[in-house]
A and B are shown apart, each in its own frame.
Chain A
Amino acid sequence: MIWNQEFETLPREALESLQLKRLQATVNRVYATVPFYKKKFDEIGLKPVHIKTLKDMRLLPFTVKTDLRDNYPFGLFSVPMSSVVRVHASSGTTGKPIVVGYTRRDIDTWAELMARTLTAAGIHQGDIVHNAYGYGLFTGGLGAHYGAERIGASVVPISGGNTKRQILILKDFGPTAITCTPSYALHLADVAREMGIDPARDFKLRVGCFGAEAWSENMRAQIEKTFNIDAIDIFGLTEVIGPGVSSECLEAKNGLHVFEDHFIPEIIDPASGEPLPWGEKGELVFTSITKEAFPVIRYRTRDLTRLNAEQCVCGRTFVRMERITGRTDDMLIIRGVNVFPSQIESALLQIEGLEPHYQIIVDRKNNLDTIELQVEVNEKIFSDEVKKLEVIEKRVVHDIKEMFGVSCTCKLVEPKTIARSEGKAQRVIDKRKI
C-alpha cells in the first residue's frame, strides 16, 4: 500500500527536478538565515547560485554532529522561535544534546512521512497501533503517534517501560500493529511468556515497525516467528527529522525507501569525503530539502550502507538504502540511546583516583542491551574495606545513569588485566549478536 501515490511513485526525472528546486530553496534559506551555514559557504566562496544541478551538491560543505553541538541549543534554527511549535532533542551527552525544532509545517511533513512509513508496512485506518516508542524529547514516540493518527489508525500511546502493563494492554486492547525498538519487542515477548502469555497466539498483532537501533535479518526472523507478525525496518534520526526518513515496504522487505522528495541521500567515502556511486558502500549523508525550522545540509550520519536504485516491486520509485551495517565512528547505541565511549571515559575520570584503564562490555541479555564497565583498581582507590570499594562501583553506576539514562553494572578488576595495545586501546567489547 502507498500513502501518497503521486509523490512516492514520481518518475525519476520529475523527482530530480523537484529535488533540485527544493534543494535550491533550502540552500538559499540557510544562507540567508543561519549564520553558521553562511560562514561555512563564505569560507569556500560558495554562493547559493552556484547550485545549478543536483550534481553541484558536492560543492556544499558537510555538517557533522559536533557542528550541531557547537550551536546548542537553537543556533542552527532557520526560523524565529515564534515560528517553532515543537522541539526535540537527541539522547546522549551531559549538558549538550542535539536540539532540533519544527514549524507547524514541519510537523505536518513529519506526520505525512510517518503516514507513508506505516502505510508501507500495511497499517491503515481500522488498525490499533500500540506505540511503545518513548514519548518526550526522543522523536520516536511522537513521530509514530502523529503518523498513526494521520492515517486514521487508533493509537495506544503507551510509550516505553512498564512492560507488564504493556502486555496486559497488548492482550486486552488487541492492537494489530506495534511500533517500538526491535530489542524491546523481544523483551516484551520474554516477559509475556513469563506471565504465561504466548505472544504468537494471545496477541492480535499483524505487523510491527521497528527502528531506532541496528538489527539484523536473524532478529527479524526471530521477531516474526515470536509474534507471528511481519516485522518492518524503519529508519530516521533526530538530526534529519526523526523516524520517517526511510522505510521498508511490506511487499519487498528488502531495503528502506528513502523519502527522496524530502531528503536527498548521498553515499560518500568516509575518509576522503568524495561522493560514491550508488551501489557502493560508504557513509550515508542526508540533506533535508523541505524542512523549515531545522534544515540540514549534507549531514554526515556516520552510518554505513549502500543505495539500491533498482525498481522495487511495490511501485515506489524512491531509492532503497540497505539496512545499516555499521558506523564510521565508535558510537554505541544502547537501548536506543547514543553513547560514545569517550563520554563514558570522561564520566569515569571525574571520579577521584580512577585511571583511564577501563573496558566497556556491551551484551544483550534477555533481549535487552547491557553495559558492564570494568575498571582497574589502583592504589589510590584501593581500600582494605569492602564498603569503600563498593562505594566506587555504585558511584560509577549512578554517574552513568545520570549521564545517559542507561543502567550499567560496574566491576572492579585487577590492574593490567585490561589489554594495553600499542596504539588505540580496545575500549569496547560488543558481544551483541545483531
Chain B
Amino acid sequence: MKAEQISVFLENKSGRLAEVMRVLGAAQVNIRALSIADTSDFGILRIIVNDKEKALAALKENNFTVSKTEVVAVEVPDTPGGLSKILDLLDAKKVNVEYMYAFIERHSENALIIFRFDENDRAIEVLQKAGITILSSQEVYNR
C-alpha cells in the first residue's frame, strides 16, 4: 500500500513557500507531513495532505508545477534504533532510499517515516515480510 505525496516546484526566492501555504490554506487543505529539498536555485516542496485532489487543483490554478508521487509511509516505534532497524532490512535487500522525512504521531508512541525508494514495490514487500506497518495516505493523515 502506497501513500501519495504532492511535490511542488519552488523557485529559490522569498515568498514562494508562503504563497503555496496561502493557496492551500484558502482551499481548506490541511498538511500532515512536509519536507523541502533545496538546491542553490530551486526547491522541491513535498507534502502529504488530507485532500490531495483539492490541493492539486488549487496549486495548478495558481500556476504551480506539481506532481503526484507514490511514497511509502512506515510506522515505527519512537524508540532508539527504530529507524535503524528499518534501514538495515532494506540495506540487506539492496533497496536504495532516494529521500525520506519523518515526524511524530499525535496519538501514539510511534514515529511516521515517509520514504521514496528507487523501487517502492520491492521495499514494501521487504518491509511487510518483516511485519512493519505500512500506511495509506488517509491513515497517515488520521494518525
A interface residues, Cβ below 8 angstroms from B: 377-379, 382-386, 389-390, 411-417
Contacts and interface: CB of A to CB of B under 8 A. Distances in A.
A86 B4 CA distance: 65
Nearest to A376: B65
A382 B63 CA distance: 13
A388 to B, nearest CB: 10
Contacts of A417: 11
Interface stretch (B26-34, B41-49, B77-85, B120-128): B41-49
A392 to B, nearest CB: 11
B37 interface: yes
B69 A384 contact: yes
Nearest to B71: A384
Given A384-B116, A412-B41, 15 more contacts: A377-B42, A379-B65, A382-B7, A384-B5, A384-B7, A384-B46, A384-B67, A385-B99, A385-B116, A386-B39, A386-B44, A411-B41, A412-B9, A413-B11, A416-B63
B94 interface: no
B65 A378 contact: yes
B34 to A, nearest CB: 13
A385 B11 CA distance: 15
A383 B116 CA distance: 12
Nearest to B46: A384
A377 B98 CA distance: 21
Contacts of B41: 411-412
B3 to A, nearest CB: 13
Given A384-B44, A389-B42, A389-B44, A379 B63 contact: no
9 contacts: A377-B9, A377-B65, A383-B7, A384-B44, A385-B44, A389-B44, A412-B9, A412-B11, A414-B10
A316 to B, nearest CB: 52
Contacts of B9: 377, 382, 389, 412, 414
A390 B37 CA distance: 12
Interface in B73-122: 98-99, 116
Interface of B is mostly: strand
Interface of A is mostly: loop
A386 B40 CA distance: 11
A414 B15 CA distance: 13
Contacts of A389: 9, 39, 42, 44
B64 interface: yes
Contacts, number: 53
B42 A412 contact: yes
Contacts of A416: 63
A14 B16 CA distance: 70
Given A385-B98, A385-B99, A415 B44 contact: no
Contacts of A411: 41-42
A414 B98 contact: no
Contacts of B98: 385
Contacts of B5: 384
A417 B11 CA distance: 10
Contacts of A377: 9, 42, 65
Nearest to B39: A386
B66 interface: yes
> Which of A382, A383, A390, A414 has most chain B Cβ within 10 Å?
A414
A386 B37 contact: yes
Nearest to B9: A377
List 9 A-B pairs, minimum CB-CB distance, nearest first.
Answer: A384-B7, A384-B69, A416-B63, A411-B41, A382-B65, A377-B9, A377-B65, A386-B37, A414-B11
Contacts of B42: 377, 389, 411-413
Contacts of A386: 37, 39, 44
A414 B46 CA distance: 16
A378 B16 CA distance: 17
Contacts of B116: 384-385
B44 A379 contact: no
Nearest to B38: A386
A379 B16 contact: no
Nearest to A378: B65
B69 A414 contact: no
Interface in B13-37: 16, 37
B124 to A, nearest CB: 18
A385 B37 CA distance: 9
Given A382-B9, A384-B5, A414 B44 contact: no
A415 B42 CA distance: 13
Contacts of A415: 63-65
A414 B37 contact: no
Contacts of A384: 5, 7, 44, 46, 67, 69, 116
A414 B7 CA distance: 13
Contacts of A413: 11, 42
Contacts of A382: 7, 9, 65-67
A394 to B, nearest CB: 12
A411 B13 CA distance: 12
A395 to B, nearest CB: 15
Contacts of B39: 386, 389-390
